Structure 1
Amino acid sequence: MRFFGLSAFAAVSLIVATAGAQTAIQAGEWETTEKTTMEGVQPMPSSSKKICLAADEAQLERLLFPTPDEIKQHGCKYEPGAKKAGVLAATLTCPPNDQTPGVTAKAEITYTQTSYQGIGQLEAADKSGTTVKGKSELSGKRLGDCPK
């Protein structure tokens, strides 16, 4: 089960990194933080990273989801949710393969031009039908202009 959890985490990490709705945010250097917990898996430490977004890629989706090409490459499906001002809702579903379980990730993120915060609900299932559920706490903030 531990290996399954780590595989699910790897798949979720792939998932939680542009797609669909094009929700504009400010370009610049962003710091993103993710804390994921999976049922039956030892707690994982939170992770954070800094990302520099150029003006032509300054969308919230760029911080949260793979690119459309990556989504297609892995056979995944991105579905934007209902549109509400200041809220991004979306679901990403990826089928299982020999290396990773199938994953369904649903996110609801509240955002401004310079920050975001929200929850992702995760469900990972391997080919044998073993399912693990989890949750990610997602947040990010614009730090300023990108370093030169």
Structure 2
Amino acid sequence: MIVIASDHGGLNLKDEIKALLSERGVACEDLGTNNGDSVDYPDFGAKVAQRVSQGSADLGILVCGTGIGMSIVANKFPGIRAALATDVFMATMAKEHNNANILVLGGRVIDPATARAMVAAWLDTEFAAGRHQARLDKIAALEKDLRVQAP
């Protein structure tokens, strides 16, 4: 199950991605926003990141104007590896090297055809593991240490 959300700046691209997921037969749950009214991206980024972090969704996709804000929000959650990508190569590497569990896109900087190709590449790419897993283990250890040290 993939959860997806956007703010107003990513709404049109989110709808394009949902259409791609539907065409591919991928289960998807839209967590908002559902109109063009101005909203705060942290509210929607948190919904997706929380679901992936807690394991009630396998993967997530977030879209805001640039993708920067959603990336910052999502990466605050334990176990989240949200990757902001701007082209197919970055989306591929996000999965192959970083096993990104949330893909973040910019609705104002990526055209629909590119976004479709990026999401398809991210979904179709396998995590390479090996030396990359060792690096992710280091990130997980840092995350754990920081939680223990938090006041």
TM-score (normalizing by structure 2): 0.30
Between structures 1 and 2, the one with greater helix share:
2
Higher relative contact order (CA 8 A, sep 6+): 1
Between structures 1 and 2, the one with greater strand share:
1
TM-score (normalizing by structure 1): 0.30
